[in-house]
Structure 1
Amino acid sequence: MADDEAKKAKQAEIERKRAEVRKRMEEASKAKKAKKGFMTPERKKKLRLLLRKKAAEELKKEQERKAAERRRIIEERCGSPRNLSDASEAELQTICKQYWERLYKLEGDKFDLEHVQKVKAQEINDLNAQVNDLRGKFVKPALKKVSKYENKFAKLQKKAAEFNFRNQLKVVKKKEFTLEEEEKEKKPDWSKGKPGDAKVKEEVEAEA
């Protein structure tokens, strides 16, 4: 009986400690949530989705506005399309004349704008050059990229074209070879002996 009561008391103590730990964890989680305030992770996620949706709608509206503005400008400059299927010959001639006059005017405006653009670009370049001169800076001109191997190949080809194998051969005279052969065949002086050696040899042979 005493053992059972001790076990029950121990089990009750364990349950009490577990309840205290669980309570502390719940309080800590509540305090953590309270610190976060109004913007919880779920609300942040919803807010991001709403912002993306709003941005997509604004982008779509901006594209539609630009397309409408483009159509309006095209209609102002080129005019609305004409019905050519039911038009008579005189009406077609009138329409063609109107289109030609409009095209002629637009080409003139284009030429004027291009001329103005070139003049402004030249003025900008002159001003940049003056500013660089005042600062004491020299602007390097844009150089064309050239491969270094092309120059080497061109030089090699030029040398190969100028090179003549026969002209580069050394001219050898026959006398050079004849002199060498004569020198080889000519015996040295010591092998010939002295002028009186032959006479001495004959006397020795006679005495023998």
Structure 2
Amino acid sequence: MANLTESTNIDPFMERRRRDQAEARKRLSEEERRKAEEKERKKAEVRARLEEAARAKKGKKGFMTPERKRKLRTLLRKNAAEAVKREQERRAAERREMLSKRCGQPKNLDGMNADAMKKVCQEYHDRISKLEYNKYDLEYDVRQKDYLINELQVQVSDMRGKFLKPALKKVSKYDAKLEKMAKVAAKADQDFRQNLKRVQSTKFTVDDDKDTKDQPDWAKKGGHKLEVEEAEADE
């Protein structure tokens, strides 16, 4: 009886322990299964994103077909031509407006008498004189600004340690030809003997060191003086 009661007392404890272990194993297996499912889900999401990116890249690569490129170039040329045409029209309108503002509207000279025509001519003369004065002032301002810009560029180059090369004056090829012809003429005016070739041969040279005994009396040095002295002695 004692053994039976002891076994009955131990069985509930062991049973509870087995149940706890079974539940722990079940929870562990569920946790592992959940982690595995989460891992597989993430892998599937990454795989889906990569496949979608690959499909988008493949579709983008084949988007610009030769036909579409040709149409796009045609549209761009057309838009550029229209833009250039609009710009030309705008500049022409500005030019007409500026000319009408500066020159005024043309005068109707039909049926005008001499005094009215003189008045119109005087008006145009005054306007032309004023424009000439303004033109001179503007040209002077432009020259001053160009000079100032050049000076500032030189100063900036000096500060950076770089030196600008001065603009060389272009010489006409005709000037170079005339200069060459002048040099040739100057050489021709020089002594022509300077341009003669020197000859090293002694064939035609006179030897002054040769003995003068074999020479005739008239060729000897002082021969004429001896003849004069002999004639005076005979007298």
* TM-score with structure 1 setting the length: 0.52
Give the one of 130, 153, 156 matched to 2:155: 130
2:139 corresponding residue in structure 1: 114
Helix, strand or coil at the partner of 2:167: coil
Alignment of 1:18-37 (within 5 A): 35=59
**Distance (whole Å) between structure 1 residues aligned to residue 67 and residue 168 of structure 2:** 60
The DSSP-based 3-state class of the residue aligned with 2:137 is helix
- Tell me, in whole angstroms, the C-alpha distance in 1 between the residues paired with 2:85 and 2:114: 44
Alignment deviations for residues 166-206 of structure 1 (CA, whole Å, 9 cap, x no partner): 9x9xxx99895x968948xxxxxxxxxxxxxxxxxxxxxxx
Residue of structure 2 equivalent to 1:159: 187
C-alpha spacing 1:181/1:56, structure 2 compared with 1 (3 Å): farther
Give the distance between the partners of 1:41 and 1:122, measured in 2 at CA: 54
Q: Superposition RMSD on alpha carbons, in Å?
A: 4.3
Amino acid in the other structure paired with 2:147: Q
> How many residues matched?
147
What amino acid maps onto 2:78 in structure 1? K
- Alignment match, 2:109: 84
Moved more, 108-117 or 146-155: 146-155
Q: Which runs of 5+ in 2 are unaligned?
A: 1-57, 197-203, 216-235
Larger radius of gyration: 2
Mean Cα displacement is larger for which, 143-152 or 81-90?
143-152
Cα offset, 1:96, TM superposition? 0.8
What is the CA distance between 1:134 and its match in structure 2? 2.9
Q: Structure 1's 46 and 181: CA in aligned 2 closer, same or farther, altered over 3 A?
A: farther
Query: Compared with structure 1, are the counterparts of its residues 179 and 80 closer, same or farther at alpha carbon in structure 2 (3 Å cutoff)?
Result: farther
Structure 1 residues 76 and 38, CA gap change in structure 2 (3 angstroms): same
TM superposition shift of 1:56: 2.7
Q: In structure 2, which of residues 98, 123, 144 is the aligned counterpart of residue 73 of structure 1?
A: 98
Q: How does 1:1-208 map to 2 (within 5 A)?
A: 35=59, 41-144=66-169, 154-165=182-193, 182=214
The CA distance in 2 between the partners of 1:40 and 1:112, in whole Å, is: 60
Distance of aligned partners of 1:137 and 1:102 in 2 relative to their CA distance in 1, 3 Å threshold? same
Q: Give the TM-score normalised by structure 2.
A: 0.47
Structure having the higher helix fraction is 1
**RCO higher in 1 or 2 (8 Å CA, sep ≥ 6)?**
1
Q: Secondary structure at 2:110's aligned position in 1?
A: coil
**Judging changes above 3 Å, is the alpha-carbon distance between structure 1 residues 162 and 41 closer, same or farther for their aligned structure 2 residues?**
closer
Change (3 A) 1:135 1:57: closer
1:83-124: CA deviation from partner (whole Å, max 9, x where unpaired): 123322222112111111111110111111111111112222
